[in-house]
Amino acid sequence: MSVPGRPETLEASRCTACGRHSLPPGPRCPHCGAGTRLVEVGRGGRVLSWTTVHVTPEGVPAPRTVALVGLDCGAAVLCLVEGGRVPEMAGRVEVRFADGVHRIG
Ligand SMILES: [Zn+2]
């Protein structure tokens, strides 16, 4: 989630034991199961992978392109790709959070 008043950041969970970040934020670390605290992280990262989905549930427009983005903080987050462009593998992107979805493009 974007931090109100701080559009250059996203909200992530930071593990209190292993220190790793995860998005979307959650109460438990997906790596070790310890507790987390909410922190702000930068929006920058690189495209790790992407795919275009041609068959979607009823009511969801198709095709839709989604990308896995590795943020500079170390967390990976699945993002909806907007703008109709295919993302460049390993290309620099900025993730934003709007209407409950992480987005690039
Ligand atoms: Zn952990």
The mean per-residue pLDDT over the stretch 28-57 comes to: 97
Cβ proximity of 42 and 72 under 8 Å: yes
- Contacting residues for 54 by C-beta, under 8 A, at least 6 apart: 62, 63
- Tell how far the Cα of 6 is from the centroid of ligand 1, in angstroms: 26
Model confidence over 52-96: pLDDT tens digits?
999 999 998 899 999 999 999 999 999 999 988 889 999 999 999
- Tell how far the Cα of 37 is from the centroid of ligand 1, in angstroms: 11
Confidence of residue 8 (pLDDT cuts 50, 70, 90): confident
Enclosing H/E stretch for 15: strand 6-15
Domains of the chain: 2-104 (2.40.50.840)
Q: What does the alpha-carbon distance between residue 74 and residue 61 come to, in Å, rounded to a whole number?
A: 31
Encode 10-45: b = buried (16+ Cβ within 10 Å), e = exposed. bbbbbbeeeebbbbbbeeebeeeeeebeeeebebeb
Quick check: 1 pLDDT over 80? no
pLDDT of residue 5: 57
- Tell how far the Cα of 21 is from the centroid of ligand 1, in angstroms: 8
Q: Is the dihedral of CA 56, 1, 94, 21 positive or negative?
A: negative
